Chain A
Amino acid sequence: MAEILKMTQPLITAEAVSRSYLKGQHQVPVLRGVCLSAARGEFVSVIGQSGSGKSTLLHIMGLLDSPDVGEVLLAGSRIDNLNRAARDQLRNHVFGFIFQFYHLLPELSLLENVMTPLMIRHSIFGFLKRRREIREAALSILQQVGLDHRLKHRPSELSGGEMQRGAIARALVGKPEILLADEPTGNLDADTGAGIMELLNRLNQDQGLTIIMVTHDNAIASQAHRTVQLVQGRIQPAGREIATDPQQRRTA
């Protein structure tokens, strides 16, 4: 019963979110009142074509951007209108991001890259005090993603798949509750992409990590619990129906 309750109460919700960008003279609407929620431990994928607003939705939910209209709720309380410092804290503690182009810092080694979120979290003295602990955390995460033999390498010396695993390790080292993945396989070949997906699925199943993933690839999206389709800044109602039952969609 508790399990079901936990699943039904959404951990993160985007409520009627609208966002438009100024392009030259014109306001170009990107999101037009999108509602999306994910329960704790749920793996949701958002599918849509380029320019459908799926990345923007992800950025708004991860507090990298703010909605023009609408709200973002975390465990029932509104977070999009918090002050800058609080949002920085939430990004560091609650959210983990992974990107299509990995976005590892080129000057740092893989281990340093993975430790970055914890360096940001702690002050210099806090970091020096917990140095060993932080290193252990980063090492164990890297072991989980299978990169413990590549600690000293710079991102430029790693393959695409390795960089994405590194990025996942970095996203997870701060023990976030929600992982926001922006086309995590978009830049990888099919095999490597499958490996990444397997890793994400494992994290979702083993650790109950809530994942919201954006992709334009149906095959990738179908591996989530639920798929939502965005078309021109709106959620496609049909998409939602299809997505609710992965079993059904797979046979279709």
Chain B
Amino acid sequence: MYKLLLCLRYLRTRYIALACIISVMLGVATMIVVNSVMAGFTTEMRDRLHNFLADIVIESRGTAGIEDAAMQMDRVQAAAGQYIAAMTPTIEIPGMMTFTDPWSGETYTAPIQIQGIDPAGKAEVGPLQDYLDSYNQVLEDGVEVRPALRGREEPLGWELTAEGEKHFRMVQERNRLFLEDRQSGQPAPQAQESMPETESPVFDSEPAPVADNDTPQQQTAPELIFTDDDPQKHEPQGPLAARIYLGEGLVSFMARNPETGRQQKIMMVQPGDNVILSTITAGTPPDVTKFQATVVDTFRSGMNEYDSSIVLMNLDALQKYRGMHLKNAISSIHIRLTDYSHAPKVLAALEQAFPPGMVNIRTWEEKQGMLLSAVEVETAILNVLLFLIIAVAGFGILAIFYMIVVEKTRDIGILKSLGASSGGVMSIFLSYGLGLGITGSAAGVFIGLLFVEYINEIEDVLSWVTGRKVFDEKIYFFLEIPTHVNPWMVFWVATGAIAIAVLASILPARRAAALHPVRALRFE
């Protein structure tokens, strides 16, 4: 009983013990905050990676792909149908994209990854709708500057929005006039003069009917090499047969708006523009193939890696341009499982179902293994480093406890003269350490969780105080700082801190226990 009483009394009356509590508290709070934010970012990143990749991906080994998508999908269905929620055939092929920047007039070519998809199927294995620009409102500093162009209920497809259509017409019209001027040999200034008349309906809010009737002989763009079934010949007026969703990062850059002084996103290509894609055919050896494609939409998945390299294209057109059309060949099948925990079973079943060596079957985690393990290692190292902070707090406790033991030497002698055992004296200081650990951890957990809860408000205040944005959502594609509190993480951090506090008090407690009563009593 005296142990408890003295321990509590010492906790209350030694202000120096407050230093121990604060150091433990800060360590615990820091660990909780950092871990929660790290976990938030990691979860978010994993989600984005995962969403874009589907659970399991079956890939052909060569660029020619595997034949007969329907048959392959039946094979998958037969092997592991009960675990599969959705799957979609895909063609993945590297390529190049050439586009003209309307601001500078320069033409750029960028390396890309073309993914031929069926939008409805793709949307079933991942949240494609959330990424497409036209389905989402545009926010700037949390304020809506443009409503969503399409309703959520509108099915995914390759049609242009009304705005896209208008832009497309305007571009076509401009090109037509330009070409007419060229062909008639008229000098450029006159062409400029004639433009306003014909262009005026294009800039009206109504779609221009003029463009429909009077351009049967029209040729769209500068001369290009096309495959024999060039879609432009069949439907010269409307958007082209090849339709694409562009990764936003491919065609945008950030620039400072001179009026507002804010960073603003500038799009070099808009829905309705045509770009030139080049890739390779499925033949052996492959030939280079080039074709024009109409940009239908832009997407932003939040993973910079994807947004600045991937171009999503309609599967059938890509098959056609690559010469895979007749065999309905694809290069990969994206599969979403009903429950991701079945993945090992499904992998094993699929390995059995396909002839050895024909395809690669991997989960999204295996595909992104390098990135994911890098993040894991980073988190682990960070945790070790942060735990060292608590260890430093532990040494603080050790030093302070030694002081308290020295200060209390005579009291220890008194207790022993009254019949207290060495173990009893030791347990006073051990429970003192435990008390400090528990108090510090509890305070740390409280403060840490509070910090995590209000992290965005805190960020606002910090931004206001320092005058610059601490967390720029434009860089990270997050509106708010993502956090994820793992209860077990909190538990282990708190337990670890308490354990360190107790461990640090063992040495001083042993010293107190070993004090000789007579010497302790004589101590002045």
Contact = CB atoms under 8 A, between A and B. Distances in A.
A116 interface: yes
B418 A97 contact: yes
A205 interface: no
Contacts of A97: 417-418
A103 B410 contact: yes
Contacts of A119: 1-2, 5
A121 B5 contact: no
A84 B421 contact: yes
A108 B419 CA distance: 17
A62 B2 contact: no
Contacts of B381: none
A59 interface: yes
Interface residues of B, number: 25
A174 B424 CA distance: 18
B116 interface: no
Q: Is the interface of B mostly helix, strand, loop or mixed?
A: helix
Contacts, number: 74
A117 interface: yes
Given A105-B411, A107-B10, A127-B1, A120 B418 contact: yes
Interface in B496-517: 516-517
A107 B9 contact: yes
Contacts of B6: 105, 107-108
B200 interface: no
A89 B424 CA distance: 13
B4 interface: yes
A245 interface: no
B419 A65 contact: no
B518 interface: yes
A84 B516 CA distance: 12
Interface residues of A, number: 34
A116 B410 contact: no
A64 B418 CA distance: 10
A122 interface: yes
Contact of A108 (B4, B5, B418, B516): B5
A142 to B, nearest CB: 17
Interface string A81-94: 00011001111110
Given A64-B416, A97-B417, A124-B4, A84 B422 contact: yes
A202 B521 CA distance: 28
Contacts of B421: 84-85, 88
B414 A103 contact: yes
B518 A107 contact: no
A123 interface: yes
Nearest to B522: A55
Given A64-B521, A103-B414, A107-B10, A92 B5 contact: no
Interface in A59-105: 59, 62, 64-65, 84-85, 88-93, 97, 99, 103-105
List 3 A-B pairs, minimum CB-CB distance, nearest first. Answer: A92-B419, A119-B2, A127-B1
20 contacts: A56-B518, A62-B417, A85-B421, A89-B419, A91-B416, A91-B417, A97-B418, A103-B413, A103-B417, A106-B411, A108-B6, A108-B9, A117-B419, A119-B1, A120-B415, A120-B418, A120-B419, A127-B1, A128-B1, A170-B418
Given A65-B517, A106-B411, A107-B13, 18 more contacts: A62-B417, A64-B416, A64-B517, A89-B419, A90-B419, A91-B417, A97-B418, A104-B414, A107-B9, A108-B6, A108-B9, A112-B5, A117-B418, A120-B420, A127-B1, A128-B1, A170-B418, A174-B419
